[in-house]
Structure 1
Amino acid sequence: MPDLIAERCSYIAGSWVDGDETLAVENPADESHVTDVAVAPLAEIERAVVEARRCFDAGEWADVPPAERAQVLHALVDHVVARRDALIATMVAEAGQPVSFAERAQFGAGVALARGTIDLYLSMPHEDTNPVPVDELVRAGGVLSIRRHEPVGVVSAITPYNGAIIMAFQKLIPALMAGNSVILRPSPLTPVSSLLFGAAAQAAGLPAGALSVVVEGGAGGAELLTSHPAVDMVSFTGSTAVGRRILAQAAPTVKRVALELGGKSAQIYLPDAVGRAAAGAAAVVAATAGQACVAATRMLVPADRKDEVVEAVSRAYAAITVGPPSDPAARMGPLINAAARERCERFVADAQLHGGKVAFGGGRPAGLDRGYYFEPTVLDLPDNTNPAAREEIFGPVLSILGYRDLDDAVRIANDSDYGLSGQVYGADLTAATAVARRLRTGAVNVNVGGMFSAYAPSGGYKHSGLGRERGPDGIRAFQEVKHLAIKEQS
């Protein structure tokens, strides 16, 4: 493998900042030590906020014309592309991701997302005539009504371990294109890869304070970034439990908060599409080991064909080779740490206590003594009240449930605190689309695993989040709306 990214400390307001403490980064594939990264002192994280505020208020980035901001951000992306091999090697080492996932789902998709977001921003109107009825304008004496979209200000971007680079692209590019100053705080579990954005900002010539990348080993810095009065917005991707805490921390200063949180997505198979279930099941665990908030970990099939599906999915999971990224035959890698594996073990045991059956897997794979591996697991559940059907496990555990008819399938799918994503499969496209329209979730994919595009929004209903990322809505999330009423002085 190529060398890893060389940066080992935080990038704050245009310079690299060391610290007295270090954070040890572990490779979850074999529990080896990857490297040590300097932890930014809390005072330096606060300085990142203060400098971001100064940069924004002085207009050093916010007042740069959008076309020029686009040139700088393309240069930032160019720098990331130039260090492709080191970035991929770093993602594989610190997250245990298969090389193909790091290459395509993070690097490739992230670069395409960044370029597309820049183009989308430039195509959108950010100041236009507000649609007020003509008679109202006449009564007001010929007032010109303008709607203007302006940057929010200082943005804290907090990203997860499972998609550190793609989530950073998803937050940084629209926020910076809109003219905001941003502090990026990656997960302490995978901090190294995100440091490349500091190097890219420096190489591209972003003003000091426009983008900082801070590393910490705990949560003190994140709490500061979600509560500091100088921060105007928090954009967070992670668990629902942490999202609730961020809402509470942001409340006293009434910050804007954008949250992409947990999910317990359903994949529904109409009677004419049951044969596709095994392939849909494999997609849940391959590449990510189920560590994806959009993973469709509840499979809903006709009750009278449930046994057939359980058997087919179990055969599909038995064919999945689990192993480290260094094994070219491996289709599924490790979980991020021991706690994640223990969570899977706990939910499998709890599922059985509540009447569920383990049809396949349920433990640690044989022959993998080191690394945080868990078998791809099929649970045959009696109903949707089972704990494994209610909670996000964030691991390679699929629950299969039977439904009586399509009304029952919709009821089961919607009977969840979450609503991030969903899938419907059916040869009858009209019937499948009708089911999709009834699901209370932010995205529904009909006969397709998903669509990832700079032009298509993502986000959740219910406990799966607030706001949207990507698409025009994702850009507007980083903007305030100002109304201008203008009239010539008489």
Structure 2
Amino acid sequence: MELEQAGYIDGRFVRGEGERFTVTNPSDGSTVAEVTGLSGDQVGEAIAAARRAFDTGEWSALPRSERAAIMRRYAAALAKHADRLKELAVLEAGCPVSSSVMFAQVQTPLRHAAEIPEVYLSLPEIEENPLPMHERLGMAGLPMQSVRRYLPHGVVSAIAAYNVPLFTALWKVIPALVTGNTVVLRPNPLTPLSALLFAEAAEETGLPPGVLNVVIEGGIEGGQMMSSDPRVDMVSFTGSVGVGIRIAEQAAPTLKPLVLELGGKSAQIFLPDSVEKAAMHARVVCVSHAGQGCALGTRIFVPEESKAAVLQQAKSLLEAIRIGPASDTATELGPVIDGAAVSRCERIVAEAVAAGATVVTGGKRWSGIPGGHYFEPTLLDLPDNTNPAAQEEVFGPVVSVIGYRDLDHAIAMANDSRFGLSGWVHGADKRAALKVGEAMRSGSINVNNGVTSAWASMGGIKLSGQGRERGPEGIRAFQQMSVLNFS
């Protein structure tokens, strides 16, 4: 397929004038689309269009109830493309068609799109500053009031990830637009096609020209402009730590506010009364989009005396996983995104073994389908938490089991990480499990269950990022506070 139009700028679809690249199916290496991406000049035009659209005030000055109503219609227009979005999640992202993760690829983000305007309207537009009584009379003896107003930043650069391209784009686009910003959306070039459906929904909804712009490129020139251009007021990015650091560097000279949702090395602590669940959760990590999820609990901590039994149970479960193409309804473990991802899995497993780990099962690339990018579901027995497999994000179907002496030891190891995106605790004794969760240092902690809601925020600490997406905090991230004092 030849993608004739690789951008949406100022209310119209445009042909690319930049680098030509190929979008491939990670299941078999076949071509999904040939794309002529946008040039740097065209990305500059998109930024200029967003700047004009914001500065005219046509969008940001709308009553917030009216803007929310438009975004509800936008969410409904996007939902009409659900079947195509599912097809693209299989073709370009390699997500197995029957996987439970398909809900995170399509159904859950579409539900969030409809709910985000409601979260926005639940927040006050203005809040009073609680001045003490003696300050409520100004120097002239006039009654004084002081209020906090929440205003849009302006032009937002939204840069999405490849693993769940719709979801990571939507977390940026819908909150940014509903709060009155204008947006330039750049998908990852490995999974760019679903981004154009954001543009089609804008056409159907009748968003004013320039309010939403979509830019697809094969290189990085445009992405660098979106982080550094002074006409951009804010950057929201989901992706790797390395790229997040570069974006922060590029944004620093103009002091752009950032929302960065980066990598993770999340811990799962199993209390002694729930250790029988550990093996199944090891399987869940591997079959969850081939381990390509930043919040997945890839470090599994169990009591030392239970470790051998957990490893044996997990080995049996992982060896029974069916590997295959994402389009096959029987597939449980699909491909990782590309050859570089396979090589990263190989490298980290090799480094782990060199540092004393044992490969219990897996540990190699799988070559059952020519041209595909597969890695076996891999279980590592780690001697301690200092092992490279416990400290470095793999982003593949590799899970590590580590023994702990007591719960204090487990908590200390869980917190011994450069990352802090998510964490998991499993315990039948809910009070004890909650106490462990409260001691973990991470942006989100899930005790016996997790929540993926438009009303609950997510974000990281340490190298897992800054700022929050989803929930009230995810709305406020796209607003700046202004204090208004008057009498």
TM-score when normalising by structure 1:
0.96
| Superposed counterparts of 1:198-347, under 5 Å | 198-347=199-348
Counterpart of 1:461? 461
What secondary structure does 2:136 align onto?
A: helix
Instruction: Provide the rounded CA distance (Å) in 1 between the counterparts of 2:138 and 2:60.
Output: 36
Instruction: Provide the rounded CA distance (Å) in 2 between the counterparts of 1:337 and 1:196.
Output: 24
Instruction: Provide the rounded CA distance (Å) in 2 between the counterparts of 1:366 and 1:99.
Output: 20
Instruction: Provide the rounded CA distance (Å) in 2 between the counterparts of 1:60 and 1:103.
Output: 37
The alignment status of 1:92 with 2:93, answered yes or no, reads: no
Asked if the contact 2:155–2:231 (Cα under 8 Å) also holds between the matched residues in 1, the reply is yes
The alignment status of 1:63 with 2:70, answered yes or no, reads: no
Counterpart of 2:125? 126
TM-score when normalising by structure 2:
0.97
What secondary structure does 2:375 align onto?
A: coil
Instruction: Provide the rounded CA distance (Å) in 2 between the counterparts of 1:440 and 1:5.
Output: 47
Alignment deviations for residues 44-70 of structure 1 (CA, whole Å, 9 cap, x no partner): 100111111111111021111112212
Instruction: Provide the rounded CA distance (Å) in 2 between the counterparts of 1:377 and 1:356.
Output: 12
Asked if the contact 1:155–1:182 (Cα under 8 Å) also holds between the matched residues in 2, the reply is yes
Q: Identify the range of structure 1 (354-363 vs 274-283) with the bigger mean alpha-carbon deviation.
A: 274-283
Instruction: Provide the rounded CA distance (Å) in 2 between the counterparts of 1:8 and 1:330.
Output: 33
Q: Give the partner amino acid of 1:28.
A: P
Instruction: Provide the rounded CA distance (Å) in 2 between the counterparts of 1:167 and 1:143.
Output: 43
Asked if the contact 2:77–2:204 (Cα under 8 Å) also holds between the matched residues in 1, the reply is yes
Counterpart of 1:10? 7
Instruction: Provide the rounded CA distance (Å) in 1 between the counterparts of 2:430 and 2:131.
Output: 40
The alignment status of 1:484 with 2:480, answered yes or no, reads: no
Counterpart of 1:178? 179
Uncovered stretches (5+) of structure 1, i.e. residues with no partner: none
The alignment status of 1:420 with 2:418, answered yes or no, reads: no
The alignment status of 1:410 with 2:407, answered yes or no, reads: no
Asked if the contact 2:2–2:33 (Cα under 8 Å) also holds between the matched residues in 1, the reply is no
Question: How many Å apart are 1:287 and its aligned residue?
Answer: 3.3
What secondary structure does 2:300 align onto?
A: strand
What secondary structure does 2:291 align onto?
A: coil
The alignment status of 1:19 with 2:16, answered yes or no, reads: yes
What secondary structure does 1:419 align onto?
A: coil
Asked if the contact 1:5–1:193 (Cα under 8 Å) also holds between the matched residues in 2, the reply is no
Instruction: Provide the rounded CA distance (Å) in 2 between the counterparts of 1:6 and 1:428.
Output: 55
Question: How many Å apart are 1:103 and its aligned residue?
Answer: 4.2
Question: How many Å apart are 1:369 and its aligned residue?
Answer: 3.2
Question: How many Å apart are 1:405 and its aligned residue?
Answer: 0.4
Counterpart of 2:46? 48
Instruction: Provide the rounded CA distance (Å) in 2 between the counterparts of 1:392 and 1:367.
Output: 25
Question: How many Å apart are 1:116 and its aligned residue?
Answer: 1.2
Question: How many Å apart are 1:8 and its aligned residue?
Answer: 3.9
What secondary structure does 2:147 align onto?
A: strand
Counterpart of 2:33? 35
Instruction: Provide the rounded CA distance (Å) in 1 between the counterparts of 2:208 and 2:328.
Output: 43
What secondary structure does 1:355 align onto?
A: coil
Asked if the contact 1:8–1:192 (Cα under 8 Å) also holds between the matched residues in 2, the reply is no
Asked if the contact 1:260–1:464 (Cα under 8 Å) also holds between the matched residues in 2, the reply is yes
Instruction: Provide the rounded CA distance (Å) in 1 between the counterparts of 2:446 and 2:288.
Output: 19
Question: How many Å apart are 1:38 and its aligned residue?
Answer: 2.6
The alignment status of 1:138 with 2:140, answered yes or no, reads: no
Instruction: Provide the rounded CA distance (Å) in 2 between the counterparts of 1:176 and 1:367.
Output: 45
Instruction: Provide the rounded CA distance (Å) in 1 between the counterparts of 2:96 and 2:370.
Output: 19
Instruction: Provide the rounded CA distance (Å) in 2 between the counterparts of 1:452 and 1:24.
Output: 33
What secondary structure does 1:90 align onto?
A: helix
Q: Give the partner amino acid of 1:32.
A: S
Asked if the contact 2:2–2:34 (Cα under 8 Å) also holds between the matched residues in 1, the reply is no
Asked if the contact 2:283–2:317 (Cα under 8 Å) also holds between the matched residues in 1, the reply is yes
What secondary structure does 1:359 align onto?
A: strand
Instruction: Provide the rounded CA distance (Å) in 2 between the counterparts of 1:46 and 1:186.
Output: 16
Instruction: Provide the rounded CA distance (Å) in 2 between the counterparts of 1:367 and 1:485.
Output: 68
Alignment deviations for residues 262-292 of structure 1 (CA, whole Å, 9 cap, x no partner): 0000000011110010121122121310111
Instruction: Provide the rounded CA distance (Å) in 2 between the counterparts of 1:295 and 1:398.
Output: 10
Closer, same or farther: CA 86–8 of 1 in aligned 2, 3 Å? farther
Asked if the contact 2:90–2:327 (Cα under 8 Å) also holds between the matched residues in 1, the reply is no
Q: Identify the range of structure 1 (350-359 vs 36-45) with the bigger mean alpha-carbon deviation.
A: 36-45
Question: How many Å apart are 1:37 and its aligned residue?
Answer: 2.1
Question: How many Å apart are 1:219 and its aligned residue?
Answer: 1.0
What secondary structure does 1:388 align onto?
A: helix
Alignment deviations for residues 435-472 of structure 1 (CA, whole Å, 9 cap, x no partner): 10011100011111x21001101000111000111111
Alignment deviations for residues 314-356 of structure 1 (CA, whole Å, 9 cap, x no partner): 1111121111122221111100000000100111111111110
Aligned length: 483
Closer, same or farther: CA 397–119 of 1 in aligned 2, 3 Å? same
Instruction: Provide the rounded CA distance (Å) in 2 between the counterparts of 1:402 and 1:67.
Output: 53
Identity %: 49
Counterpart of 1:114? 113
Q: Give the partner amino acid of 1:15.
A: R
- The root-mean-square deviation of aligned C-alpha atoms, in Å, is 1.4
Instruction: Provide the rounded CA distance (Å) in 2 between the counterparts of 1:358 and 1:103.
Output: 29
Question: How many Å apart are 1:76 and its aligned residue?
Answer: 1.7
Question: How many Å apart are 1:366 and its aligned residue?
Answer: 5.6
What secondary structure does 2:444 align onto?
A: coil
Q: Identify the range of structure 1 (396-405 vs 32-41) with the bigger mean alpha-carbon deviation.
A: 32-41
Asked if the contact 1:7–1:195 (Cα under 8 Å) also holds between the matched residues in 2, the reply is no
Asked if the contact 1:287–1:333 (Cα under 8 Å) also holds between the matched residues in 2, the reply is no
Instruction: Provide the rounded CA distance (Å) in 1 between the counterparts of 2:458 and 2:269.
Output: 20
Uncovered stretches (5+) of structure 2, i.e. residues with no partner: none
Alignment deviations for residues 104-127 of structure 1 (CA, whole Å, 9 cap, x no partner): 112110111111111110121111
Instruction: Provide the rounded CA distance (Å) in 2 between the counterparts of 1:395 and 1:71.
Output: 40
The alignment status of 1:383 with 2:384, answered yes or no, reads: yes
Counterpart of 2:349? 348
Instruction: Provide the rounded CA distance (Å) in 2 between the counterparts of 1:432 and 1:31.
Output: 44
Q: Identify the range of structure 1 (90-99 vs 224-233) with the bigger mean alpha-carbon deviation.
A: 90-99
